[in-house]
Amino acid sequence: MTAKIINGSEIARQIREELKQEIAELKAKHNLVPGLATVLVGEDPASQVYVGQKEKTCLALGIYSERHDLATQTTQSELLVLVDKLNKDPKIHGILVQLPLPKHINETEVLDAINPRKDVDGFHPVNLGKLMIGEPDYLPCTPHGIQQLLIRSGVKIEGAEVVVVGRSNIVGKPIANILLQKKEGANATVTICHTGTKELAAHTRRADILIVAAGRPKAVTADMVKEGVVVIDVGVNRIGKTAEGKDILVGDVDFDAVKEKAAAITPVPGGVGPMTIAMLMLNTVKAAKLAA
């Protein structure tokens, strides 16, 4: 068996096309243009690339975009003043503070300061609480993207044994909560594994759907999965450079070996990554609809 490749780039393109229609309707019916503000503190190269991709996607979709680049030495108080200003700006429906922030800034306090109605990353405690009880305004972007990859690839989630490797607040915990809700596109039995889990492979071999966000290159090997599993690889690890100087990227799953046993698998790159930005745009459009 060689796995079907779950093409995140193509599914993200489909979602962007759907959003173009919704944005056109908002403009026609309400004379309203969705607006997204991104805030970048410091000069982290990866963060600059991510923010640039978000700007480019906004432009392509017709979403109003503001980018606020702040120096590394920006104080927490200065950042909170900017967040407050964006909270009050009617042109801005979504606010995204790019993480990680410099060490002298408390990320939790900054994220808590964002108006929950403008929290299009879905990380505010209010929005995470609504997710827990199954009544979210916004779902965190990467976990929502994972769910959409499964749904749009025809993977049966209801009743499935889902194993999540990784318990971060950004991926592991939210995707577990999303997939265990008693709803369409969910209603699975979910196990979360982490660094304290004994016999990790005993859990991963049970999975019908395996979601890996461990942060370690090729941590899941072929002997750790069963035949016919669906694998979502969230990891992006730089392990070197090509002769041309480009980064060599691998996931948290040993792709070449595991694809010979899996029914379906996401590649790295081109799997989960494009979906994260697509779902950010979806949340921004939803925020504009709520404002309308």
Which residues does the annotation mark as catalytic?
Answer: 54, 98, 121
Query: DSSP string covering 249-266, please?
Result: EE-SB-HHHHTTT-SEE-
Hey, what long-range contacts does 106-110 have (CB within 8 A, 24 or more apart)? 106/76, 109/76, 109/80, 110/76, 110/79, 110/80, 110/83
Angle, helix 8-30 to helix 45-61, in steps of 10 degrees: 50
Q: Are 260 and 197 in contact (CB under 8 A)?
A: no
- Say how many C-beta atoms besides its own lie within 10 A of residue 49's C-beta: 10
The alpha carbon of 262 is separated from its chain's Cα centroid by a whole number of angstroms, namely: 23
Report how far residue 176's alpha carbon sits from residue 241's, in angstroms, rounded to the nearest whole number: 34
Q: Are 251 and 237 in contact (CB under 8 A)?
A: yes
Q: Are 63 and 23 in contact (CB under 8 A)?
A: yes
Query: DSSP string covering 17-28, please?
Result: HHHHHHHHHHHH
Q: Which of 8, 45, 14 is nearest to 233 (CA)?
A: 8
Report how far residue 41's alpha carbon sits from residue 75's, in angstroms, rounded to the nearest whole number: 10
Residue ranges with strand state E in the chain: 4-5, 35-41, 64-70, 94-97, 161-165, 189-193, 209-212, 230-233, 237-241, 247-250, 264-265
